[in-house]
Amino acid sequence: MGIWRASTEAEMSAREKAHMDKVRRFAAEGMVLLENDGTLPLSKDVKKVALFGNGARHMIKGGKGSGDVNSRSVVGIEQGIKDAGYEIVSGSWLDEYDRICVDCRAKYDEHIQEMVKTAGNPMIAFMEYFNNPYHDPDIQEISDADLVDADAAVYVIARDSGEGRDRKPVAGDYELTENEKKNIEKLAGRYEKFVVALNVGGVIDTKALRSIKGIGAVLLMSQAGNVIGTVFADVLFGDSIPTGHLAMTWAENYSDYPAYDTFSSQNGNVDDEYYNEGIFVGYRYFDSFGKKPAYSFGYGLSYTSFDIKTEDVTLDGETLTAKVTVKNTGDKFSGKQLVQLYVSAPDGKLEKPVKELKAFAKTKELAPGEAETLTIKAEVSSFASYDEKSASYILEAGKYFIRIGENAGCTHVVAAVEIENEITTCKLSNRFKIDTELNEISAKNEKPLTYDGEEDEKASAKILKLSADAIKTVTAEYVKEPAELNNTSSDKVTLEDVKAGKASLDDLLGQLSREEMADLCVGTARGGFGGTSVIGTASAVVPGAAGDTSSKLASERGIHNLVLADGPAGLRLTPYFAVDEDNKIIPEMSAMAFDFPGSDDAPKTEIKGEVTKYYQYCTAIPIATMLAQTWNMEVIEEAGDLVGAEMEELGVNLWLAPGMNIQKNPLCGRNFEYYSEDPLLAGMCAAADTKGVQKHKGCGTTIKHFACNNQEDNRMHTNAHVSERALREIYLKGFEIAVRQSQPLSIMTSYNLINGLHAANNYDLLTAVCRDEWGFKGVIMTDWGTTGGIEMEQRKFKYGSSNAADCVRTGNDLTMPGSEADVQNILDSDVSRAELQVCARRILNCVLECRY
């Protein structure tokens, strides 16, 4: 049938159905019950539901941008409730909001189409669409006539965000609108059973929801993919149990977050981002600076209640083990409970946060009265802090208090590890010299959050003394300059020869010319409907995939291309396409990977012979933040396994996911793609996701964006000024954990600079730290357009772009999506054959892993 792996069957496949069933089964575990007076789950006598809110029909399955997924269908909230057998009685109000949205969308599309016609460069219109996507307007007020008789009412608040723009602390985004507040207050006064559901990918202000009397429950339903309505209905009526816990602190006020007024565009400066919080990010800040949040990191209620009891804490060598028994003390509902282990390190020459998460575990589903004893382990070496003066991770002398509880705001001291003399756990070298003066905050004169009895717990804590020889110092070894390989044999070596054992990879690399290797180290931006490459949808092999590596060496050297597709909430591909008998795609009979309005003036394709239609619908899984809210690595690995199966079926080699940057501030437009504010949780989630994907032959993940992609308003040209300690303990730690635990096939660098150096051209980041210190073996690639040409804004930037030659020099193996200019940049430089061979080797190893 041609070159395509997609199906020619138009009907929903068995794989689609099975994967949606899987998501339905585990997605509820990421929904977080924030408030509940017993209203949820709704009782069986509820038959009629009054449904309101902008998310009732216009719910958000996941964020905008490259993280979107083109599923065959999406089960909405209204549909999910109806499918569960309940009647929606507020249809006329929902119909009116539909009409408002249709008019608003038509005006937006007209604006984009006019830009396509008049801008000259269609990329300008596409960037406008990408950076300022369509958002539904504010909802209308609910009138007295709309308050029809119902057994219960549900109000769904939806918020979307996406790549290229950060959120704002304004009504309709971080804050509720006046109409939303009025509507919620009116419904709370009218219906005895009233639920507010938050269809959001990040934090919103909840003061109004906690102050309005009559709200029976608040459920963070999050954004659960294309079966979101079904999952929500399951939870609403008790067929599934929400067992999620927050992966980011929800503050009482936006202004409670550190650097709230300087983040991204909040101070008018998007060129320079000063990480003055240092290590005090998320709960580390709230605890240490005495700011009580609305909902703590790790917070989450249940339909039942639990008792958590620490049975014992022991120390064997450097392995700390806590035995914790959890009992379901309710008498009606089953549930799962999270248990977290934190450590409070002693202050010494290094300032420490009040506590840091070091381990966690979640119970199985416990029936009423059932108990389970969890075994939670942590290595004492992980308690170390980075000392810039000695360029080492150190454990300072003193007591390290062990805290156990259900969330960061509810822990108790259960033991203490005592260290008599300072221990160096890891000897490194400083690699990230600061390029400006930072004014890092200090908690030395602040009053931390505490609780009654804390000092008594510390005084009576079981003391576990660490043996002086329990931890051996690890000293990093850094590689030297590479040696050039040469093979003067007249017999041409191919990658098939290497695979068959007829030649070694050194033999092949020794024959490759600078020209051949430059082609190999630059992707090929081809395809796009009508012969025009659309950024992020440039694959010629799998329509809608983000791009391919070069296939110029396929015939001569047997080096076939790799296909790379976006994520992280599933694969983003063209859902269907049509080709003629020459396998030429017919745009007017095909969908687009992006829902771009485009122009009606595009020339029609000349169709040759018979037309064949193909289908490659993919499953939208829950967003990364929602997966993290499960705190269940088995669930996240299953989600990765699901994506890996679709990659294998459709011919995708590298999934450009998971995103795992730290949720530094709640306004980051891409937070929904990231797991958490905490690097341990983020790293473990990414590792689990990677393990699931890489179960499948020829499939791998691309953890991203390496590193400090923590804002979107000027992500391509911003300079992140950050201390070495904060980098190593907060912003790089999750990547380190993912690399050490799962060895992903690839890593994607971020656009931004770090202390004056582009991440894509940063030898210390990519080679010294990632490869030499952590042992990463895979391919490192750029984000799309890092070397310039697709700027998000048409203006002059303070900082420029990276370049392909420096990518090779520093260990960034692959420049994507690639251009002839990038190839020429390498060839015109003094990049040596040896440097090219190092990058080419890693790409060839990946091709061997994925294509043979």
What is the rounded CA–CA span in Å between residue 82 and residue 681?
36
Radius of gyration of the chain (CA): 27
**Half-sphere exposure (Cβ direction) of 631: Cα atoms closer than 13 Å:** 28
Residue 152 has pLDDT above 50, yes or no: yes
Residue 528 has pLDDT above 60, yes or no: no
Residue 534 has pLDDT above 80, yes or no: no
What is the rounded CA–CA span in Å between residue 92 and residue 674?
37
pLDDT-based confidence at residue 336 (cuts at 50, 70, 90): very high
Residue 109 included in any domain: no
Residue 260 has pLDDT above 50, yes or no: yes
Average predicted confidence (pLDDT) for the chain: 94
Residues 352 and 399 in one domain: yes
Residue 125 included in any domain: no
pTM above 0.85, yes or no: yes
Residues 51 and 72 in one domain: yes
> How many helices and strands (H and E) does the chain possess?
22, 30
- Give which of 258, 197, 250, 218 is closest to 408, Cα–Cα: 250
Residue 8 has pLDDT above 80, yes or no: yes
Q: Are 197 and 221 in contact (CB under 8 A)?
A: yes
Residues 586 and 640 in one domain: no
Residues 593 and 460 in one domain: no
pLDDT-based confidence at residue 307 (cuts at 50, 70, 90): very high
Q: Which two tokens stand for residue 327?
A: 């009992």
pLDDT, mean of residues 256-262: 97
Count of C-beta atoms within a 10 Å radius of residue 849: 18
Residue 104 included in any domain: no
Residue that is last in its domain, among 240, 274, 291: 240
pLDDT, mean of residues 705-730: 97
Instruction: Report pLDDT for 63.
Output: 84
Alpha-carbon torsion 204, 681, 664, 293, what sign? positive
The CA–CA distances, whole Å, from 289 to 37, 447, 479, 821 equal 31, 6, 42, 50
Domain with 63 in it = 31-90+138-240
Split into its structural domains, the chain has a count of 4
Residue 600 has pLDDT above 70, yes or no: no
821 alpha carbon, distance to own chain's centre: 31
Residue that is last in its domain, among 181, 216, 240: 240
Residue 688 included in any domain: yes
pLDDT digits 0-9 by tens, 453-501: 999 999 999 999 999 899 999 999 999 889 999 999 999 999 999 999 9
Residue 220 included in any domain: yes
Instruction: Report pLDDT for 792.
Output: 64
Instruction: Please report, rounded to a whole number, the percentage of residues in the chain having pLDDT higher than 90.
Output: 89
Residue 1 has pLDDT above 50, yes or no: no
Q: Checking phi first, is residue 398 left (phi over 0); if not, alpha (psi -120 to 50) or beta?
A: left
Residue that is last in its domain, among 240, 267, 299: 240
The CA–CA distances, whole Å, from 237 to 148, 194, 305, 658 equal 21, 13, 18, 32
Residues 585 and 566 in one domain: no
What is the rounded CA–CA span in Å between residue 110 and residue 508?
54
Instruction: Report pLDDT for 529.
Output: 32
Residues 313 and 362 in one domain: yes
The CA–CA distances, whole Å, from 389 to 427, 476, 633, 730 equal 11, 16, 36, 18
Q: What CATH number is associated with residue 184?
A: 3.40.50.1700
Instruction: Report pLDDT for 524.
Output: 82
Residue 275 included in any domain: no
Residues 719 and 596 in one domain: no
Residue 267 included in any domain: no
Residues 200 and 329 in one domain: no
Q: What CATH number is associated with residue 465?
A: 2.60.40.10
Residues 603 and 625 in one domain: no
If DSSP states are collapsed to H, E and C, what string results for 571-586?
CECCCEEEECCCCCEC
Q: Which two tokens stand for residue 692?
A: 């699931």
pLDDT-based confidence at residue 540 (cuts at 50, 70, 90): confident
Residues 561 and 676 in one domain: yes
Alpha-carbon torsion 516, 519, 521, 523, what sign? negative
What is the rounded CA–CA span in Å between residue 527 and residue 542?
10
Residue 49 has pLDDT above 70, yes or no: yes
Q: Are 346 and 324 in contact (CB under 8 A)?
A: no
- Give which of 121, 122, 159, 119 is closest to 139, Cα–Cα: 159
The CA–CA distances, whole Å, from 187 to 209, 215, 690, 799 equal 12, 9, 44, 51
- Give which of 699, 89, 771, 272 is closest to 477, Cα–Cα: 771
pLDDT digits 0-9 by tens, 184-235: 999 999 999 999 999 999 999 999 999 999 999 999 999 999 999 999 999 9
Q: Are 505 and 845 in contact (CB under 8 A)?
A: yes
**Half-sphere exposure (Cβ direction) of 304: Cα atoms closer than 13 Å:** 24
Instruction: Report pLDDT for 605.
Output: 84
Listed range (113-117, 237-241, 444-448, 478-482) with the worst mean pLDDT? 113-117
Residue 531 has pLDDT above 60, yes or no: no
Peptide bond into 705 cis (omega under 30): yes
Regarding beta strands 423-427 and 474-475, do their DSSP bridges make them parallel or antiparallel, or are they unpaired? parallel
Residue 143 included in any domain: yes
Instruction: Report pLDDT for 125.
Output: 76
Residues 218 and 80 in one domain: yes
pLDDT-based confidence at residue 527 (cuts at 50, 70, 90): very low
Residue 739 has pLDDT above 60, yes or no: yes
The amino acid sitting at 192 is E
Listed range (19-33, 101-115, 334-348, 682-696) with the worst mean pLDDT? 101-115
Instruction: Report pLDDT for 795.
Output: 81
DSSP letters for 49-82: EEEESTTTTS--SS-BGGG----S----HHHHHH
Instruction: Report pLDDT for 158.
Output: 98
Q: What CATH number is associated with residue 560?
A: 3.20.20.300
pLDDT digits 0-9 by tens, 669-678: 999 999 999 9
- Give which of 397, 434, 294, 413 is closest to 343, Cα–Cα: 413
Instruction: Report pLDDT for 840.
Output: 98
| 3-state class (DSSP) for residue 301 | strand
Residues 433 and 568 in one domain: no
